[in-house]
Structure 1
Amino acid sequence: MNTQLTVNELLDPLHTIIGVVENKQTLPILSHVLIQLKNGELTLTTTDMEIELRSSKKIQAQEEVSFTIYAKDLIDIIRKLNANTIIEFIIEESKIYIKTNNNSFELNTFNTAEFPSLPKISNSEVIKINRLTLKELIKKTSFSMGSQDIRAYLNGLYFEVDKNNIIVVATDGHRLSIGEIKQDNKLSDKKTVILPRKAVIELTKLLDKDENTDIDIHLSENYFHLKTQNTTIISRLIDGNFPNYAQVIPSNYENTVVVNRQDFLESLQQASIFVEERTKGVKLAFKDNQINIFSHSERGQAKTKIETNNFDKEVEISFNIHYLISILENLTTDDINMILPSSDSQSCLLSSIDDDTYQYVVMPMKI
């Protein structure tokens, strides 16, 4: 069984699905990509048994072929070749021979019947959402996800969907990001799921094209399924109870500061040069309608100052400086609200003025 494909036909879909493949797999076949050609459509599939990615493309070839091959070896072989280069695949029972230009390669293959696939989703709820809206929701919240936390439910992105809203939340236990949009959803009941971190990363890549189209998300009890025109992602969900995020949002607005976002961001970026690597802490001293920003490390110290609007109380509070910077980079309005906690055990809330689409909560720290 032989076939010929061009670099151009293979490379884009291979780039799309390669992120699922790990260098060290418990099953050797999980290091492979399943390549299928049928009815003039080329489909590439990878999986790690938790996430499955498929990318399809219409091509000229009409033969019917199916085989597996080491995904990262294949991409290394073809990535530097001219887009129109023809690659010949000679497929035997346990070996595949690749011939291109004057080069030839021999790789192992598996029976395609052994290639695992995630179960087909049944009894799912379908939510229609604009692609760019979903892309923004994920981008402006996912940076607060946990990473390798022993509490598995923190290592993912929480989706809460009802008839009128889509809420996306991420937290690592020290900061929390909330994005909420209002739209009509044809749901019988509220649906909540936690999408794993790796799936969020792959989904972000999938949504990266600026296409202003609607897409369907399928949510079942155990799986998340999203399909665009040429690519499908299926992921298992994290089993666990996400924290009650509403409980940590400040309700006392007594200490509300209005500050210019860009001035605040630039001052923090300057102060970050001298932040101690261990604590990453910065001290903010509010006094006389100003914020004095202090940071120090063994190399030196920084002091910067910005103006505030109508806040003359004296408050001193410290935060992880990188948390504040990432929040300010994701807010977009000229001025923002900063609601300061009245005690060390309370959190700080940052949001745009007159726009609560995105809210960010960060806990103070002691330095």
Structure 2
Amino acid sequence: MNIQLTVKELLGPLQSVISVVEKNQTLPILSHVLIQLKDGKLTLTTTDMEIELRASKKIQAKEEACFTIFAKDLIDIVRKLTEETIIEFIIEETKIYIKVNNNSFELNTFNTKDFPSLPKIKDSEIIHIKRLVLKELIENTAFSMGNQDIRAYLNGLYFEVTKDNIIVVATDGHRLAIGEIKQENELTNKKTVILPRKAVLELIKILSKDENANVDIHLSDNYFYLTSDSITIISRLIDGNFPNYLQVIPTDYENTVVINRQSFLDNLQQASIFADERTKGVKLAFKGNQINIFSHSERGQAKTKIDIDNFNKEIEITFNIHYLISILENLTSDNVNMVIPNGENQSCLLSSIGDDTYQYVVMPMRV
């Protein structure tokens, strides 16, 4: 069986699915990409048994083919060629021969029947959402996910979907990000899932590259399934109970100050130069109409200050400086509300003024 594809036809879909492929797979076939050509549609599939990615593209080809090939080798060959270059695949039972210009390559292949796939989703709830809305929801919250935490449910993104809204929450136990949009969903009951960190990062890539205006999310008890015209991602879900995020949101707004976001961010970034690399702490001292910002390390120290509306209390509190910076980088309003903790074991809340789409909670550091 022989087929011909141009680099332009092959490279885009291959780049969309290659990131799931790991170098050291327990099963050799998981290092391969499944290539299918049928009815003028080219489809590439990769999987690590936790996530499955499929990218499709309409092409001008009458041939039909189905084979597997080592993904990393294929992309290394293809990415160095011009878009118009024609690649010929000669497909045999255990070998794939690639001919490009005057060069030829021989690669191993597997029986396509042995290529694993995640189960088909049944009885799922389907959510229709604008691509850019979902992209923004995820990007503005996912940075607060845990990473390799022993509590598996923290290493992912929590989705809570009702008839009236979609809420996305991420936390690593020290900070928490909440995004909420209002939209009508055709649901019989509230649906909650936890999408693993790796799948979240893949999803951000997909939503950044895909040009489609809308996507469909299928939510079942065990799988998350997102589809558009050109790409599909299927992921297993994290099995666990996500913590009650509402419990850590401050309800006492007595100590609320309004701060210019850009000025606050600029001063924190300056102070971060001398933040201790181990603790990453920064002290904020609220007094009168100023916030004094202090950081120090073995190399030296920084003292900066910014103006705020008159505040009639004196409060000193220490935070992880990088948590504050990442929040301010995701907020977009000129000014932000900051609810300052009024005692021990209380959290700080930051949000845009006049827009409660995103709320960010940070726990103070004990010093």
State the TM-score, normalizing by the size of structure 2.
0.98
Once superposed, which parts of structure 1, at least 4 consecutive aligned residues long, lie more than 6 Å away? none
Aligned residue type for 1:57: K
Contact 1:283–1:316 at 8 Å: present in 2 too? yes
2:256 maps to 1:248: no
Secondary structure of 2:8 counterpart: helix
Which residue of structure 2 aligns with residue 97 of structure 1? 97
- SS of 1:268's partner is helix
- 1:226-265 matches, within 5 Å, as 226-265=226-265
Listed as ranges, the matches of 1:244-323 within 5 Å are 244-323=244-323
Q: Tell me the secondary structure at the aligned position of residue 314 of structure 1.
A: strand
Report the secondary structure of 1:55's partner residue.
strand
Structure 2 CA distance for aligned equivalents of residues 188 and 42 of structure 1 = 37
Instruction: State the one-letter code of the partner of 1:121.
Output: I
Give 1:4-19 correspondences, 5 Å limit: 4-19=4-19
* Structure 2 partner of 1:37: 37
Cα shift readout 1:209-235 (whole Å, capped 9, x = no counterpart):
474722211101111111111001111
Q: Distance in 2 between matches of 1:58 and 1:217?
A: 23
Structure 2 residue 323 is matched with structure 1 residue 326: no
Report % sequence identity. Answer: 77
Q: Which of 179-188 and 208-217 deviates more?
A: 208-217
- CA apart distance, 1:310: 2.7
Which residue number corresponds to residue 163 of structure 2? 163
Q: Does residue 199 of the first structure (1) align with residue 209 of the second (2)?
A: no
* 1:43-87 Cα shifts (integer Å, max 9, x gaps): 000001111100001111111101000111100111011111111
How many residues were matched structurally? 367
Corresponding residue number in structure 2 for 1:80? 80
Unpaired runs of 5+ residues, structure 1, are none
> Secondary structure, in 3 states, of the residue corresponding to 1:82?
coil
3-state DSSP of counterpart to 1:289 = strand
CA contact (8 A) 1:132 1:212 kept: no
2:130 corresponding residue in structure 1: 130
Aligned partners of 1:210, 1:218: CA distance in 2, in Å?
Answer: 18
CA distance, structure 2, for counterparts of residue 136 and residue 44 of structure 1: 27
Query: 1:137 and 1:227, CA in 2 relative to 1: closer, same or farther beyond 3 A?
Result: same
Q: Which runs of 5+ in 2 are unaligned?
A: none
Structural RMSD (CA) = 1.0
Distance 1:256 1:186, change over 3 A: same
Instruction: Tell me the secondary structure at the aligned position of residue 207 of structure 1.
Output: helix
Q: C-alpha displacement at 1:366, in angstroms?
A: 2.5
> Quick one: which amino acid aligns to residue 111 of structure 1?
N
Counterpart-to-counterpart distance in 2, 1:10 and 1:357: 40
TM-score, normalising length: structure 1: 0.98
Cα deviation for residue 284 of structure 1 reads 0.4
